[in-house]
Amino acid sequence: MVSIAYRTADVDGLKVFYREAGAPGAPKLLLLHGFPSSSHMFRDLIPLLADRFHIVAPDLPGFGQSDGPKANTFDSIADTIERLTEIVGFDRFTVYVFDYGAPTGFRLAIRHPERITGIVSQNGNAYVEGLSDGWNPIRAYWQDPSPANREALRSMLTLDTTRWQYTHGVVDPAAVSPDGYTLDVHYLGRPGADDVQLDLFGDYKSNVALYPAFQAYFRTHKPRVLAVWGRNDPFFLPPGAEAFKRDLPDAQVRFFDTGHFALETHAADIAEAIRGVFG
């Protein structure tokens, strides 16, 4: 049995929830989830890696059990997670990034490259060729933040859409537990959560604007990178994974026959890949 602690930290006045496992003296691994999930998405992965790593998996501000961000922007979320790493003593760590966790983790990397010992990108994009046409409604809101375009995105906060994100591209949808997407929808229903998420849809353009800076970081600092990708992801395409090798020829890229939430079906395979590259 793996012992997992469920903690909260006061980060400049915000309550940030996080899961912690592993020995404090082990190599550090920071797990950053995406939309619309929480650290709950790592429930299967943590026990598979806790014997090798000291793991911290926070709920990003505005998600899960954490308070809302000070501002509904990715810069603000990264500010809070950066402070959390300092509070929990993560001075040097490998970062696992997924979906929204990618622009959060990559911001930490370009701010403090000396702190990053490696990157695991699980459908965590940093290249325009990784963005599918599924982003078109959100792109429309970037270009014209009108009330109509904002309201058009509200359908992405529903149970049906969240369930679809979990099951699309999965060989056997019955292999996907309903716990994850049901819990996500519960958190999306908190007062004010919809406005946080709609604002973040609009601010996602700031992440795309930073892609050249992220790529320059890869070329300059040459972190060890493992890209593990659900090849049937409707949002982040396989070319986004393959593009890491353009800036990092030694990057390891592995594809799995699943969708966006690859850990729901391939946690053991991804854990094995992480052990192989970072063990």
Active site residues: 260
Whether the Cβ atoms of residue 262 and residue 231 lie closer than 8 Å to each other: no
- Cα-based torsion angle of the residue sequence 143, 260, 178, 182 in order, rounded to the nearest 10 degrees: -20
Phi, psi of 199 (to 5 degrees): -65, -40
Complete DSSP assignment for 188-202: HTSTTHHHHHHHHHH
Task: Find all residues with CB under 8 Å of 257, minimum gap 6, and list them.
Answer: 171, 231, 232
Strands 54-58 and 93-97: unpaired
Residue indicated by tokens 């490998």: 94
Whether the Cβ atoms of residue 253 and residue 243 lie closer than 8 Å to each other: no
d(C-alpha 209, C-alpha 78), whole Å? 16
